[in-house]
Amino acid sequence: MFNLIDTTLFFASYGNIANITNITISPMDIALAYIVTIIVSIVVAYALRIPLLPSKPYRYSFDVSAIYPTPIIAMGIFSIFLVLNYTFMYNGLVLAIVIGILSALFVKYLFDFVFPKHLSEDEGDVIDE
């Protein structure tokens, strides 16, 4: 994961070397935008009444929570925009806030539809005989 962040910082901050775009952003601005994305996604997810932590036992829980899938999804989507050299305005802070809100909404309403939970061995289709 740190390699992805390092690569994103490199491509976003030095994307103007070959005069590809007119956007240049410093690594500190990118780190600040990542932090804003993480905080906004967790706060909005918690405001949408997503539990802060998954149910116990934590290791085997596939429940969504505000801590685990929400900021990871937000960081991934924000990384895609940074690699494409699109930061919108205020060095990516507005984009970070929008992506944080949208990722929390995605986890709340669409996550179980896109990524369905697995069935355990005891659960499954019941065949009536």
Residue-wise pLDDT for 53-112, tens only, equals: 887 776 766 788 888 889 999 999 998 888 887 887 888 899 999 999 999 999 999 988
Q: How many CB atoms lie within 10 A of CB 82?
A: 25
SS3 99: helix
Q: List the domain boundaries for the chain.
A: 2-114
Measured CA to CA, the distance from residue 64 to residue 48 in angstroms comes to 12
Q: Please tell me the pTM assigned to this model.
A: 0.74
